[in-house]
Structure 1
């Protein structure tokens, strides 16, 4: 089995650190005096610098050092945190990401500009923290003239530290920067030459440091290896203690001492003290090892492509299990049926476990838009508040990654076209700050992600005029409001008066539509003129395996996603005749339109004597689907349609049945839309 490239592992961890730094900076921008966020950003920068140096990203380590130094001054109270400093480090963070992705790029001019911006921000902070005027009396600090604190630091790195790129000398250099120190190395753990592993680390260090540094500042030196090492930090101020010399090697074995000699060598009090110390050290070491072991099993990093490969294997297993179930049903063998049922249960549990492994909360996606909203606020000159809801809603990781770009286009569109400038909002009786809301919720087998704003809404007349001007719509052609709103997703369509860095080229919303359709999703647009608009993306919960209801229409078999099924009814021949020309079903006092799939698919076969109606829903809309037979539930492994059929809106994919046949998977969203159109036509005729 191939192992991960350490450089790839570093890039993954660096990406997580950069996300942490960005979120910390955005939080700090709202509360500049938040000490926890200041420490969080500093620790992230410190870890990134150390890890970069360890893996050979020297340019990244050198550049990050400047930002770390700036935040170190903030931590020590030398300069305050300012909006200018946050903006400078955010810009520097983007450059750090470029250095992670391409360490060999030519970024000299860019770095000069970024460092100039960073130094200017520090100067602004320094002026804000300027000392009081000479006429004021400043009380001397309480510890003025007092000697510095004295710390004793003992640390041992893991044996494989140097293999992983850790250089112990860097820690000693960082300690020297805090103040004068005395260093003693303990080489007692080095084995004989014939037993020595040249790649292993056997040394242990004791450092006595004289510096007005806090315990946390000393811990920060070892921050990115803290979990894998042993570290003892003791405050020995006031004690005349120096670094302990390394213990002498154990003497050669001698003849056993007499009882009298043993009594003289060790008193009971000394033995008790030694035993207590040994017990305490063993307990502390055991607790530390236990804590590290617990941390190690909390999570395991697995490449996404391995999860995809595993999902493919589970899909093939489901198909094989379906074949086995079909054979077991046809053979009168109780043992075979028992084995088939057991394998069916196991494959179902394995599928459920696999689905959970691939699910991640959409909050990981929503966090990225805090930075986007901040940048849009500066670009547009508008005041924007981003609100997120339903962050705990989970989706397939693959789906979330593909939703990032469409949501960026929608949010940018809402900021540029939807929200009004502050003065226009005030004139309309609205608050100056415009609100963009990112929300997610689960509805059956779909996740609905919506982007709404409280702006001016969509001007349908302007959309129509622009569509006619671009030749997308014939003059005078009749359109419903929803059809007019869907025009904003047409290729090349834009209502912007001029091209800007945000919009005007007519490509953004077209990208949204293509991406959502490739995910077998749908887009709903709702509009409230003068109050705002909402774009909702309805996305399948997963793209791999679903529970389905297998039905027969004519000679063909089809799969209806079980999550969309509400109930199944029988359509008698009398009801079938009465509903001709209307296709409406009375269901508990409500009229539900239904589609005869036999006619829709033009099977050419006569209807079954006892037709069934499967009532399906998406969101608040529902229709009935008339089928000839309901075969039963079916674990459906979704296969993509061929190039020739990918534009057929009625089907979202296909699956392989247990007998080797192929069944098409019905696209419920498009069928519901077809049912609504049919109902609208019937109501117009009536």
Structure 2
């Protein structure tokens, strides 16, 4: 049986559950009495343990079982929710994650992790009031609970074990479940004293279906686990099996009821119970005789017109509880409402479908090829100038655009999950630093491309840690400055001008520009005689090897981190800006494209070369001719309705020469952040769906260009990097013809 798909689903689900577990634990710090959060944590641990048990991941089961036991005591109010308990559970969550990763990677955890896990187990057992050491045979502590309910001596079974009558459904194998894995998992809760395999349902070998399950089991089981824990073993096949659980020292009548409820021959099942030691032969015979007598009495005739009492349908349980005064009507209504919410939530989950990321990437690639092919059809239609073909190509183009938008939306995910990861980071690092810091999150529902989300995590991690270490002052300094003792680190995301903006801000002391400049001069990054603006000084923190830390620590001082942040963000075609105010705090603004795959582009031309600008960055286009053109060339800017618009001649930037300069030019007004500029081009060639192709390592350092695309005609067009062009305009640099020829090739 191929269990790989089921295993992959388990690993993905475990990752989600552990994330949810961490979020709920962090929420408990501010709301320790929130029972819903405690239940969420318990359910996450219980689900991981149950699924791991099905697959036979004993290390995960053994550790998570102890965590679950402590969580159960927390749910019952027997263990108080304190910062130390939350800290232990967070460490438990990390260790469960390490165990699951080890299974996924088919490796083993290292000695340090294993020792830490044993230390955590000892701490959990102390909370449970149990010995720190555990017998190796079962991984559980010795039984310390009284036997489950005894009855009248003359009708009580002598067995002190649980008895399980288990019949798997015929489709259990088709569902990807292995019956033996559940028996292995059961053994983690105790010892299987006796097991009889029931094969009465096996058909003639000619009718045997190898994908069907015909097995049943009669199991005598010794354990101090509760009935709920034993039932939990079979949680994932509960709808695909028949399960009867008889507690230790149960009345004989309970065994007889189970015998009569099962499809096999009563005598045969009775013999199995006698052979396993669950019943003596005398108990079996007496129980069968008593139940037979009770059955005959139940069918005795009643008075004329009466119906047997058993035929009268009992009232609903809720009505009984209300009538007896056990609960109020409001409690019953609340319970019914909760049941409906759970049912609706499950129905909503059933509408979701987990998709492999590689398949999604392949879909985007195919959509990209479809966009290029559609552009080719449009070119042919325009050349042939046939009305029917033109109309058909326009319909095709519209449909391709809709397919593109829908395909890209599949890759759009909310950034909130990435932001939530930093709750734990802020909690742990603030304790290490001895500072009181809280994380405030806004814009968590902002969506952007999954690839961008995955690659922005590390840069954000550096920025958040840097804010806590360098930006936030010690508590005594904050109080002396009249600030609150509790500092804030803020993460915010929002859309702006076709980009996504992520702010990492703090209410700390701001950047110490004098110290930054002094350190930069000491390290030879800036000549001492240079006069730098505040903005230029701020950007020095992104220089390789730069650090203002006076001593090396676990968090900073080695001069790596901020330069990596800048590199990683620029690799995503993004930019990073700094806004700081001494004594008030610092805000680092990251601006990123929404997607790295397909964009709406606007095609422009210089001589015979084609370039593409992102439509989302374009404000308007104006003609530049005559006296206005001459004046603009002299001044370097354009008067746009009373607003000064700096101009950038694309021909000069890319050093493109032609024998016959154009008689008129056009200005494409673009906006990047809060800055506007005009890009002067020869021709405006209209909108163009643009499939972004990387330039490759050889041309990765090409300035002013972020990628390339294939036009419908088969030609190559370069995608312009607006932010890079503005930098080039400031520095006065150009791109040589050799560079352009190389990239086009």
Common fold: TM-score over 0.5: yes
> 1:33-52 residue pairs with structure 2 within 5 A?
33-52=33-52
**What residue is the counterpart of 2:475 in the other structure?**
422
**What residue is the counterpart of 1:245 in the other structure?**
260
The CA RMSD measured in Å over matched residues stands at: 4.3
Confirm or deny: 8 A CA contact 1:560 1:666 kept in the other structure.
yes
Paired residues, number: 630
Separation in 2, partners of 1:205, 1:38: 36
Answer with 418-427 or 483-492: which moved more.
Answer: 483-492
Confirm or deny: 8 A CA contact 2:706 2:720 kept in the other structure.
yes
Task: Please give the secondary structure, in 2, of the residue aligned with 1:530.
Answer: coil
> Unpaired segments of 5 or more residues in structure 1?
128-144, 178-182, 251-263, 278-286, 679-686
> 1:43-62 residue pairs with structure 2 within 5 A?
43-62=43-62
**What residue is the counterpart of 1:10 in the other structure?**
10
Deviations 1:470-512 (A, max 9, x none): 1111112122222211111111111100110000111111110
Q: Does 1:116 align with 2:127?
A: no
Separation in 1, partners of 2:392, 2:490: 51
Q: Does 1:363 align with 2:378?
A: no
> 1:55-454 residue pairs with structure 2 within 5 A?
55-103=55-103, 104-120=107-123, 123=126, 159-160=172-173, 163-165=176-178, 167-169=181-183, 191=203, 193-202=205-214, 220=232, 222-224=234-236, 242-243=257-258, 245-246=260-261, 248=263, 294=347, 297-454=350-507
Separation in 2, partners of 1:270, 1:326: 85
Confirm or deny: 8 A CA contact 2:98 2:109 kept in the other structure.
no
Deviations 1:293-337 (A, max 9, x none): 956741222221221121111111111111111111101333332
Q: Does 1:624 align with 2:627?
A: no
Separation in 2, partners of 1:91, 1:434: 25
Separation in 2, partners of 1:231, 1:576: 87
Aligned with 1:645 (options 699, 709, 720) = 699
Answer with 577-586 or 118-127: which moved more.
Answer: 118-127
Aligned with 2:591 (options 524, 538, 543) = 538
Assess, with a 3 A threshold, how the Cα gap between structure 1 residues 40 and 174 changes in structure 2: closer, same or farther: farther
Assess, with a 3 A threshold, how the Cα gap between structure 1 residues 90 and 340 changes in structure 2: closer, same or farther: same
Assess, with a 3 A threshold, how the Cα gap between structure 1 residues 5 and 202 changes in structure 2: closer, same or farther: same
Assess, with a 3 A threshold, how the Cα gap between structure 1 residues 232 and 247 changes in structure 2: closer, same or farther: closer
**What residue is the counterpart of 1:280 in the other structure?**
none
Aligned with 1:585 (options 607, 632, 638) = 638
Assess, with a 3 A threshold, how the Cα gap between structure 1 residues 30 and 200 changes in structure 2: closer, same or farther: farther
Q: CA deviation at 1:638?
A: 0.6
Confirm or deny: 8 A CA contact 1:85 1:118 kept in the other structure.
no
Task: Please give the secondary structure, in 1, of the residue aligned with 2:53.
Answer: helix
Answer with 529-538 or 44-53: which moved more.
Answer: 44-53
Task: Please give the secondary structure, in 1, of the residue aligned with 2:592.
Answer: strand
> 1:432-511 residue pairs with structure 2 within 5 A?
432-511=485-564
Assess, with a 3 A threshold, how the Cα gap between structure 1 residues 433 and 32 changes in structure 2: closer, same or farther: same
> 1:506-517 residue pairs with structure 2 within 5 A?
506-517=559-570
Confirm or deny: 8 A CA contact 2:575 2:590 kept in the other structure.
yes
Assess, with a 3 A threshold, how the Cα gap between structure 1 residues 40 and 187 changes in structure 2: closer, same or farther: farther
Separation in 2, partners of 1:223, 1:607: 77
Task: Please give the secondary structure, in 1, of the residue aligned with 2:719.
Answer: strand
Deviations 1:130-179 (A, max 9, x none): xxxxxxxxxxxxxxx9999x9x99996652278434544468779999xx
Assess, with a 3 A threshold, how the Cα gap between structure 1 residues 229 and 317 changes in structure 2: closer, same or farther: farther
**TM-score, normalized by length of structure 2?**
0.75
Confirm or deny: 8 A CA contact 1:174 1:221 kept in the other structure.
no
Confirm or deny: 8 A CA contact 1:88 1:114 kept in the other structure.
no
Q: CA deviation at 1:54?
A: 2.3
Answer with 155-164 or 315-324: which moved more.
Answer: 155-164
Task: Please give the secondary structure, in 1, of the residue aligned with 2:463.
Answer: helix
Separation in 2, partners of 1:310, 1:611: 40
Task: Please give the secondary structure, in 2, of the residue aligned with 1:495.
Answer: coil
Separation in 1, partners of 2:239, 2:31: 30
Separation in 2, partners of 1:451, 1:292: 34
Answer with 445-454 or 28-37: which moved more.
Answer: 28-37
Confirm or deny: 8 A CA contact 2:54 2:185 kept in the other structure.
no
Separation in 1, partners of 2:504, 2:556: 17
Answer with 66-75 or 427-436: which moved more.
Answer: 66-75
**TM-score, normalized by length of structure 1?**
0.81
Separation in 2, partners of 1:543, 1:54: 40
Confirm or deny: 8 A CA contact 1:85 1:121 kept in the other structure.
no
> Unpaired segments of 5 or more residues in structure 2?
131-148, 153-161, 266-299, 315-339, 733-745
Answer with 540-549 or 24-33: which moved more.
Answer: 24-33
Assess, with a 3 A threshold, how the Cα gap between structure 1 residues 482 and 146 changes in structure 2: closer, same or farther: farther
Separation in 1, partners of 2:196, 2:416: 49
Separation in 2, partners of 1:172, 1:604: 80
Separation in 2, partners of 1:592, 1:197: 78
Assess, with a 3 A threshold, how the Cα gap between structure 1 residues 198 and 275 changes in structure 2: closer, same or farther: farther
